[in-house]
Structure 1
């Protein structure tokens, strides 16, 4: 499999930090002032899905994952490997209970951002617990809102939140969803250079969320 190490992602990560039918049910709000759905669905992209360009997760898709989902046109998937002896890999490639295994680049589609897939080994936690650990590991995260949905028979939990950039002196929107698999949890996260880019990429995120399945 062609891929790259987390160490090779360092410049990209630093730049980003600096600058089947689905039914949904609201969950509780964990931060005062947060509203269901957050602000990430604001604008003309709210609720829309991108045109399908292929799938990721299976053999030959760029990343071998515990789940499969559709990816937007021109988005490019690449596997990510964590070097076990690298403190840099450990710091950048692990967030809470999960580790990065795949990066789906939006640049070929004209956006500055990624869908990143993270997987964990713990099989006992719920998707909500996994997301809570994922968000808690980012000390700059706030205004979290959780929702639950189903895709086919698969339970999906989603979190929307904001991340404050000390360098840019502003907050940007972020979103992630998690599912449980027999081999452990999977988290799919959408960030972006800023909230405007994040919102522009939401259709690709929605496509992934609404098409996710085991396998």
Structure 2
């Protein structure tokens, strides 16, 4: 059963999306939300968030993923080919996670990317902690347990040292567990200003 779940993490709220996990069972007493296909735009996006333009992750979308969610208008997704090829591990692997999709925000006027990673089966928090720990320039990680609709989720805010800028820049990520493994969604940005500009006002 596909359960629509609305994420309360900053990264996804920037797109005003509905994230759907495949094969997930609801918590006892949880009430599933309406599918994205019948949700009105005013219901799907928080006030001040950009209108969603397309879905990502489902059948026929740019990137096949264990989850699906909507993208902000003009954000451009592209699947990452063969991310588990050892030859490209330095670019496509971070800790336990492999990059599966890259969403370019430049067409929408932002200098940054939303990247979706998948990891082997296991707790979402372990995948997220391993992802952040594998970035040798990351520091000050602050984790928070939350929920994404009927599913548990973990989000993190941290800083990464930019050698080019000579300063720390803010980044965020969140993770959910699915029957196919954990999914990590990461939002970077050229600098902290660009990063925050991609978040909801």
TM-score range, shorter chain: 0.7 to 0.9
Q: In the alignment, what sits opposite 2:141? A: 144
* Number of aligned positions between the proteins: 162
Alpha carbon RMSD of aligned pairs, Å?
2.3
Q: 1:180 to 1:22 in 2, by over 3 A?
A: closer
Change over 3 Å in CA distance of 1:21–1:59 after alignment to 2? closer
Aligned residue in 2 for 1:102 = 101
Using the alignment, how far apart are the partners of 1:48 and 1:154 within structure 2?
Answer: 25
Correspondence 1:49-198 to 2 at 5 A: 49-82=49-82, 87=87, 89-121=88-120, 123=121, 125-198=122-195
Q: How far off its partner does 1:22 sit?
A: 5.4
Q: Secondary structure at the match of 1:202?
A: coil
**Number of the residue aligned with 1:14:** none
Question: Which digits, 9 at most, give the CA deviation of each residue in 1:149-179, with x for residues without a partner?
Answer: 1122011100100000123210000000000
Normalised TM-score (structure 1): 0.69
Change (3 A) 1:85 1:182: closer
Which residue of the partner structure matches residue 15 of structure 1?
Answer: none
Tell me how far apart the structure 2 counterparts of residues 102 and 164 of structure 1 sit (CA, whole Å): 24
Question: How far apart, CA to CA, are the structure 2 residues paired with 1:170 and 1:53?
Answer: 34
Q: Is the 8 A contact 1:82 1:90 kept in 2?
A: no
Unaligned runs of 5+ in 2: 11-46
Structure-2-length-normalised TM-score: 0.74
Q: Secondary structure at the match of 1:81?
A: coil
1:202 aligns with 2:199: yes
Greater percentage in helix = 1
CA deviations over 1:28-56 (Å, ceiling 9, x no partner): xxxxxxxxx9xxxxxxxxx9533211210
